[in-house]
Chain A
Amino acid sequence: MSAIRIPKSRQDKSFDIEVDGIKVLAYEGETVATALQCAGIKVFFKQEGSLPPNRLFCGMGTCRQCLVTIDDQVNCLACQTLAYPGMKVRTSL
């Protein structure tokens, strides 16, 4: 189930980011983690081998389990990185 934005909590400044080529809505002031969760995306990055997928866990930039690829830069903290228009997120290599 997707995460839910509290109604009327955003100024109407929304834009699109791309996640694996698909457009995902984000609002100014939101983190990548927020945009992903509101789009129902729980797996932030599929790791290789038997390592578990990256996902939200601590929400404060400490656990580093939420790492995603943003604009071809790997290992960015989704919960600490603010989304911006045209950002390209990838959830796998």
Chain B
Amino acid sequence: MRTIDGLTPKQSDLVIIGGGVIGTVTAYWLAKAGYKVVVVERKDIGSGTTSAAAAAALLQTKTTPTKLALANESLHLLDQLHRELEFSFEYEHSGSLLAATSDEEMTLICEMNEKLRSLGLEVELLDGAQARQYMPILGDCIVGGSYSPKDAQINPLELVVACERAAKNLGVIFSTYNEVIGIEVCGDRIDAIQTKRGRILTDTVINAAGVWATRIAEMAGLSLVISPLKGELLVTERMPLSMKGTLIAASYLLSKTGAEAKSNQRTVERTIGITLVQLRHGNFIVGSTREQSGFDQRNSREGINELSYQLLKLVPSLSNVHLLRAYAGLRPLSEDGFPIIGRDNKLPGFIFAVGFGGDGLAMSALAAQTILDVLTDSVNPYLLDLFNPSRFST
């Protein structure tokens, strides 16, 4: 057996900083297109926010035409990735059910439903009985909901592992347990990056460092505002498969938009929107809290209690299921809630791939394709503007 030391080559066409879902999927995508890629990751792939992802790529929670269009394109590209990757990962269009527990919530869902249908999304309104037909584990308190068949569930860890293996087969070098400590810039040019294990000559750097991307940008003399938003989630023991698709509580929408919920939200500092999905091994993934907490990734007693309580209100039949672990991660939010993908206008060799918020998993393939388009100067002008790194500067 060879000694694991993390290979550090002397030179590369491109260096991707960050081995999370964005960096790993991008590495594969670019290698497939013939680029020589090195990924520098300070721990192991997926060890950041990716390992705390809530395992779903949703369409019907997208509240604006732009967000829905992006989500659609994201899933389309994930389909492609899933099809062509020689290693499998759990990915299934198992659908989603946005569930209401009150008439007010149902009204909100009906409004959204109408809007989404007008945008071309295949969504269907269900009453309580129909909802329970689709998801028999739902409690009687569910009065109805909206069903979206194309939404998907994804195992984020399986995804990064599959992409890493495929990328390695295409020659990508993963320099893990290695940290970037500097970026050498000369005028409008990048010369090299410095890592703990040596210097890599390169003129193109892709910043996919997630919540820690600001630090990387600053090494190149650039500024970047990414705000961490903590999410706690729960992972249960394996259970016999009893659920297909993702359950979304209506309060999830309210939580995401930051609106004060009418349901039992305890504090303004922490909001909760329940999502529930059962992965193929049988574990339930229960998301998630939203809390501004800096870079603190600790779990909290209240978060665990509240998630359990809110979940069991919707799905009382899971009362006896054991919680195996709580997790937490930091969503990297950009200032306007859209990703930042593109070249820096003063330092074109520095490409941003950051700010995916809570959608990094879903948008990973879209991010990868967009970065490829950036390299070949063929980005769709609409996306060029939408994702433009310079859109924030005055």
Contacts and interface: CB of A to CB of B under 8 A. Distances in A.
A and B touch in the complex (CB under 8 A): yes
Q: Which 9 interchain pairs have the tightest Cβ spacing?
A: A73-B320, A93-B240, A75-B322, A75-B237, A74-B239, A74-B320, A74-B240, A48-B240, A75-B320
A57 to B, nearest CB: 17
Interface residues of A, number: 5
B281 to A, nearest CB: 9
7 contacts: A73-B320, A74-B239, A74-B240, A75-B237, A75-B320, A75-B322, A93-B240
Contacts of B322: 75
Interface of A: 48, 73-75, 93
B: contact size bracket: under 10
A75 B324 CA distance: 12
Nearest to B237: A75
A93 B240 CA distance: 8
Interface in B227-245: 237, 239-240
Given A48-B240, A74-B240, 7 more contacts: A73-B320, A74-B239, A74-B320, A75-B237, A75-B320, A75-B322, A93-B240
A33 to B, nearest CB: 19
A73 B237 CA distance: 14
Interface in B202-240: 237, 239-240
Contacts of A48: 240
Nearest to A76: B320
A23 to B, nearest CB: 25
B355 to A, nearest CB: 40
Contacts of A75: 237, 320, 322
Contacts of A74: 239-240, 320
Interface string B58-75: 000000000000000000
Interface string B312-327: 0000000010100000
Contacts of B320: 73-75
A22 B354 CA distance: 60
Contacts of A73: 320
Contacts of A93: 240
A93 B237 CA distance: 16
A46 to B, nearest CB: 12
A73 B321 CA distance: 9
B234 to A, nearest CB: 16
A73 B320 CA distance: 7
Interface string B189-209: 000000000000000000000
A78 to B, nearest CB: 15
A70 to B, nearest CB: 11
B282 to A, nearest CB: 8
A3 B137 CA distance: 40
A39 B239 CA distance: 27
Nearest to A72: B320
A75 B239 CA distance: 9
A48 B240 CA distance: 9
Contacts of B240: 48, 74, 93
